[in-house]
Amino acid sequence: MLAIIPPCTNACPVHTDVRGYVAAISRRDYQEAYRLIKANNPFPSVCAWVCPHPCEGACRRAQVDAPLSIRNLKRFAVDAVGGVAENKNIIFSGKKVAVVGSGPAGLTAAYDLARHGYRVTVYERSQEPGGHFLASLPIFRLPREMLRRDIGQIYLAGVEFVPGVEVGIDVQIEELRRQYDAIVIGTGLWGGRGVDRPGFEHPDILLALPFLKAANLGEKPQIGKQVLVIGGGNVAMDVARTAVRLGAPDVMVMCLEEREQMPASQWEIQDALAEGVMLIPGYGPVEVLFHEGRISGLLVQKVQSVFDREGKFNPAFERGYTLSIPGDTIILAIGQTPEKSFLQGSGLKTDAHGYLLIDKNNLSTGTAGVFACGELAKGPGPAIAAVASGHQVAGIVDCYLQGTKPAPAEKELYLIGELPGEVADQAPRFARQEMPALLPAQRALNLLPYELGLGENEALQEVRRCLNCGLGARVNIEKCSACLTCQRVCPYGVPVVGEYAQISVDGCMACGICAAACPSGAITMELLEPDTIDQSLAVIEQALDTRADSRLLTIFACRGAIADGLCLDRLKSALSQNRIQVIELPSAGALRLEWLLAAFERGAGGVAVIACQNGRCRHLGGSAATERVVSRAKELLEQLGIGAHRLFYCRPGSEAEMLKDLTGFATEL
């Protein structure tokens, strides 16, 4: 079976169902949105704050105006729900697994294995779990209560945490091998890389991770007035922004890469610049400068190239092109090295540098029952990649303990391609809802979080921008009569009709207009499967069973209209929440005659149809076709003796006008 994968999900290391949780937010079903976010990620709250959102980089909405604000929507959903405790009855197998290290990879592996029925114990040398989440991420980027909320859910899965125990010092790997059926090592990268240049051996040169850890613990590390940060990645940006908040009036970041090639996330660089950090890109350190034994600056040289012709890291410099940069504090953020302490007395295989040997494919260490994950196994990367590695190693360990091989992929995947230019040109444009935040001058006053979160109205405006990639029209060629109707009604000109209609997965905008108009019923929509609509209509019967005296109003509404609020909240307040049921449509033009009639057949007291306000619909066209469907339904209702007055088409207008019309109609039911 062919599975159609949208680019956002494909770009996510844990393949989060972005499209699904965005749709759930649109329906205001925030519990379902949270469930989908957490389905592949035990750190929903953490990632809502710090994920570098590669999904946004792949979002096809960027071809129309700007990518969907996915991480901000995740943050909204998580904030709206506040975390949900799991109530799962886990049957334990009797086998035990030890996890060394409590960072995102180790805790993800522990969480998965516990839910598979294993007794999992996590050993951590610190007193609190979290790894780099806890020690290295600045508090202004990740409030620690968010981390503790997610870890609390991992505890509830049955994971045992042993703090203050350093494997390799307090207990040996060999001892754990005797006690447990398998071991997962996820100790991460905690060592800082140095610079082999004169002066960098000085004890006052600081390393990024200890500096960040001290700041997060409130120790306020001693820094001068002119701070030089060496490095161009996200850690360097975190260090520089932390130094600003600790009161340094001048903070500069120097890196080998030019501005466009810096490995740091663009949004982190932009935030750093906004907060007063200066960039010196394209320069490398030559030597540390001193005055009377104290650091006074740095001599740097212009970089000619960072990589050689073979693509290997091998910086080349322009001779004679040097600068002297004043500074009294130098902090190195040029990369981390793997942890080694757990190797003492372990007997595990190591490479020429003394690091653990790991098979990158099966995460095995070459020692039976001992596996590795996270940055230790995969190298440096974003936290969500560490989570993905934790999932991977958990699956491998499960197979090892069960004595089975990993199951092959069940489905053939089709990754949706770029949006055709002619379709993108016709798509209505809507402004992206950006994350509200404190002004840069206010942020620099302390280490507190500065992103304020989207409000409900902003979130609903943002979800309307989703293109529902891959949920568009599908043609049953056995039913298709090649009548050209789909080609005629499509606002984007996507259908091509020959012997039968063909509708491109890449081009279809999932508006549903062609499916509603198809006279032979040859076109279906995954967004509007018959079972989905039937489940929605079943609510009517359920309502009648519980409230026999109620006249339930069923509303078919365009998603864009729902995002606009369309005064439904006020209407529900005026008429009582339990008298209204809303069925969301991708566009008003997707409405079908049989759905209107089915609503009355199920017992609806009245049915209203609502399109978007003029100029606000997320799809072109549709309103004219909707009026025709409603008009035909009224004729049939009269013939059936139900009465046309029980079906109402709310003409697009101002919010006040629509509220007045809807209230009047509902009151008369």
Facing residues of 525 across strands?
Answer: 473
Q: Collapsing DSSP states into helix, strand and coil, what is residue 101?
A: coil
CATH of residue 540: 3.40.50
Facing residues of 342 across strands?
Answer: none
146 and 215 fall within a common domain? no
Is 412 inside any structural domain? no
Tokens 């001693």 identify what position? Answer: 222
CA distance 443 to 441: 6
Give the dihedral sign, CA 373/374/380/385: positive
CA distance 391 to 28: 30
Is 133 inside any structural domain? yes
Is 423 inside any structural domain? no
395 and 491 fall within a common domain? no
CATH of residue 490: 3.30.70.20
State CA 220 to chain mean position distance. 32
Is 357 inside any structural domain? yes
Specify the pLDDT at position 361. Answer: 85
pLDDT, average across residues 421-450 = 93
Q: What is the mean pLDDT of the chain?
A: 88
If one counts the domains in the chain, the total is 5
104 and 140 fall within a common domain? yes
DSSP state of 224: -
Give the global pTM.
0.89
pLDDT digits (tens, 9 = 90+) for 298-343: 999 999 888 888 888 888 888 878 899 999 999 999 988 888 888 8
How many other C-beta atoms can be found within 10 angstroms of the C-beta atom of residue 541? Answer: 14
Is 123 inside any structural domain? yes
pLDDT digits (tens, 9 = 90+) for 364-416: 998 999 999 999 988 888 899 999 999 999 999 999 999 888 766 656 778 99
Q: Is 408 exposed, middle or buried (0-12, 13-18, 19+ CB in 10 A)?
A: exposed
Specify the pLDDT at position 47. Answer: 95
Q: Collapsing DSSP states into helix, strand and coil, what is residue 458?
A: helix
The token pair that represents 491 in the structure block: 């606002």
Contact partners, residue 454, CB within 8 Å, separation at least 6: 69, 72, 73, 75, 76, 433, 435, 436, 462
- Residue-wise burial string across 356-372, b where 16 or more C-beta atoms lie within 10 A, e elsewhere: bebeeeebbbebebbbb
396 and 518 fall within a common domain? no
CATH of residue 9: 1.10.1060.10
Distances, alpha carbon 660 to alpha carbons 567, 651, 656, in Å: 10, 11, 6
387 and 435 fall within a common domain? no
180 and 199 fall within a common domain? no
Q: Please determine, for residue 549, whether its predicted confidence score (pLDDT) is greater than 60.
A: no
CATH of residue 281: 3.50.50.60
Specify the pLDDT at position 545. Answer: 52
pLDDT digits (tens, 9 = 90+) for 122-172: 999 999 999 999 999 999 999 999 999 999 999 999 999 999 999 999 999
Is 409 inside any structural domain? no
Distances, alpha carbon 598 to alpha carbons 278, 533, 541, 648, 662, in Å: 64, 10, 11, 15, 21
59 and 137 fall within a common domain? no
Q: Which amino acid is at 134?
A: L
Facing residues of 475 across strands?
Answer: 523
Is 37 inside any structural domain? yes
User: DSSP string of 297-318?
Assistant: EEEEEEEEEEE-TTS-EEEEEE
pLDDT digits (tens, 9 = 90+) for 10-19: 999 999 999 9
pLDDT, average across residues 620-644 = 85
CB contact at 8 A, 390 and 372: no
How many other C-beta atoms can be found within 10 angstroms of the C-beta atom of residue 206? Answer: 22
Specify the pLDDT at position 576. Answer: 61
CB contact at 8 A, 472 and 509: yes
Q: What percent of the chain has pLDDT over 90?
A: 59
CB contact at 8 A, 183 and 363: no
Q: Please determine, for residue 601, whether its predicted confidence score (pLDDT) is greater than 70.
A: yes
Phi, psi of 286, rounded to the nearest 5 degrees? -105, -50
pLDDT digits (tens, 9 = 90+) for 562-585: 766 656 666 666 666 557 788 888
Q: Please determine, for residue 548, whether its predicted confidence score (pLDDT) is greater than 50.
A: no
CA distance 121 to 108: 13
320 and 435 fall within a common domain? no
pLDDT digits (tens, 9 = 90+) for 286-300: 999 999 889 999 999
Q: Which amino acid is at 236?
A: A
Q: Please choose, from the candidates 468, 592, 460, the residue with its C-alpha nearest in 3D space to the C-alpha of residue 526.
A: 468
The beta-strand segments (E) located in 117-200 are: 119-123, 160-162, 182-185, 189-192
Tokens 């505890």 identify what position? Answer: 155
The token pair that represents 534 in the structure block: 């039937």
509 and 540 fall within a common domain? no
238 and 357 fall within a common domain? no
Last residue of a domain, one of 359, 383, 402: 402
Q: Please choose, from the candidates 290, 279, 295, 282, the residue with its C-alpha nearest in 3D space to the C-alpha of residue 321.
A: 282
End-to-end CA distance of the chain: 47
The token pair that represents 318 in the structure block: 């322009």
Q: What would you report as the CA-atom Rg of the chain, rounded to the nearest whole angstrom?
A: 29
Confidence of residue 1 (pLDDT cuts 50, 70, 90): low
CB contact at 8 A, 384 and 52: yes
Is 415 inside any structural domain? no
Phi, psi of 493, rounded to the nearest 5 degrees? 65, 35
205 and 317 fall within a common domain? yes
Q: Please determine, for residue 657, whether its predicted confidence score (pLDDT) is greater than 80.
A: no
547 and 636 fall within a common domain? yes
For residue 563, give its domain range: 536-668
Give the dihedral sign, CA 49/51/52/55: negative
Q: Please choose, from the candidates 308, 252, 317, the residue with its C-alpha nearest in 3D space to the C-alpha of residue 286.
A: 317
Last residue of a domain, one of 527, 549, 572: 527
